A = this chain, B = another copy of it.
């Protein structure tokens, strides 16, 4: 399928923008990994290495005013939707100045007011929430809005996925659910996760459209995800996209992923989408190896300065916390 993607040549500008976000995400994640190894990030670091092409295609095809609920491995898509290197590092490092102010961290970040929902850990849970956001837009008469959310192969086994997708289908909402089938849920391979021949077989069960993308091929991802988002935007109801790829890193940085089948690594699905896109750029003469190297240096500079800057920022001060989980003015509650 990637060949197809390659044949119908993608738009140069979009492809280049997408590549730059992929590169920035890759470089940022490499930095996060090193900070984790250095013990500077507590908890965990969860990377999207190898999944940038699919992820960026979601963020890039969405517009301002759309809703995006990214998941664990969407650094590239988040950035394409407007998230910054700065807030990424602030959130991972728990900075008071980050969008989560140290109260939540790593991938659990967002700015809901800007349509950028902050995931909770419980997989599948964001699907009905995005559906609800889209229902709100419809109540307000807004049209042409799309809501997209990402999930992994394991996430498709949750009740939340099923209920959320079904509700969206019944309401015919412009929801796009993109499943990154990276072959494993943590250590669990597809054959212990589901028994359908193909995850796309699930679409018919909800009465929604299904699309397959080659997750290792940026051109194909841009085209397929773009088409799905366009279909949702133009009233086609929920769209279900499955991208096949391989997680080229551990589940988290604590995990050496020793369980990954070597056969998959050497297979088409195991290709590094970043490398593939670089070869494509060069083959197309859209960029030279030197330019690409320059972009990487640029990205590295931005990431390193940002990381350094955030490490100098003050941690949240417990004494300054109001320790209140409700927004009700304290006055209204003698004691909670």
Interface residues of A, Cβ cutoff 8 Å to B: 157-163, 166, 169-170, 172, 191-197, 201-208, 237
B204 touching A205, Cβ below 8 Å = yes
Complex CA gap A191/B207 in Å reads: 11
A170 touching B158, Cβ below 8 Å = no
Considering the complex, give the chain B residue whose CB is closest to the CB of A200. Answer: B205
Q: How far is the CB of A131 from chain B (nearest CB, A)?
A: 13
- By a CB distance below 8 angstroms, the chain B residues around A204 are 196-197, 201, 204-205
7 closest Cβ pairs, A-B complex: A159-B159, A162-B162, A195-B207, A169-B195, A202-B205, A205-B205, A196-B207
Q: Please tell me which one of the listed residues B158, B170, B197 contacts residue A193 in the complex, with CB atoms under 8 A apart.
A: B170
Complex CA gap A17/B158 in Å reads: 41
A195 touching B206, Cβ below 8 Å = yes
Q: Please tell me which one of the listed residues B159, B191, B193, B195 contacts residue A160 in the complex, with CB atoms under 8 A apart.
A: B159
Considering the complex, give the chain B residue whose CB is closest to the CB of A163. Answer: B159
Complex CA gap A172/B196 in Å reads: 11
Listed A/B pairs (30) with beta-carbon separation below 8 Å: A157-B162, A157-B163, A157-B166, A158-B162, A159-B159, A159-B162, A159-B163, A161-B162, A166-B194, A169-B194, A169-B195, A169-B196, A170-B191, A170-B192, A170-B193, A170-B194, A170-B195, A172-B195, A194-B207, A195-B206, A195-B207, A196-B205, A196-B206, A196-B207, A197-B204, A197-B207, A201-B205, A203-B205, A204-B204, A205-B205
- By a CB distance below 8 angstroms, the chain B residues around A191 are 170
- By a CB distance below 8 angstroms, the chain B residues around A207 are 194-197, 201
- By a CB distance below 8 angstroms, the chain B residues around A193 are 170
Q: How far is the CB of A155 from chain B (nearest CB, A)?
A: 12
- By a CB distance below 8 angstroms, the chain B residues around A201 are 204-205, 207
Complex CA gap A145/B299 in Å reads: 61
- By a CB distance below 8 angstroms, the chain B residues around A196 are 169, 204-207
- By a CB distance below 8 angstroms, the chain B residues around A159 are 158-160, 162-163
Complex CA gap A291/B221 in Å reads: 69
- By a CB distance below 8 angstroms, the chain B residues around A157 are 162-163, 166
Complex CA gap A166/B206 in Å reads: 15
Q: How far is the CB of A291 from chain B (nearest CB, A)?
A: 45
Complex CA gap A195/B201 in Å reads: 15
Complex CA gap A201/B162 in Å reads: 14
- By a CB distance below 8 angstroms, the chain B residues around A162 are 157-159, 161-163
Q: How far is the CB of A217 from chain B (nearest CB, A)?
A: 26
12 additional A-B residue pairs with CB within 8 Å, beyond A157-B166, A158-B163: A157-B163, A159-B163, A161-B162, A162-B162, A162-B163, A166-B195, A169-B194, A169-B196, A195-B207, A195-B208, A196-B205, A203-B205
Considering the complex, give the chain B residue whose CB is closest to the CB of A203. Answer: B205
Complex CA gap A159/B195 in Å reads: 17
Complex CA gap A163/B159 in Å reads: 6
Complex CA gap A243/B159 in Å reads: 24
Q: How far is the CB of A176 from chain B (nearest CB, A)?
A: 16
Complex CA gap A195/B203 in Å reads: 11
Complex CA gap A195/B172 in Å reads: 8
- By a CB distance below 8 angstroms, the chain B residues around A172 are 195
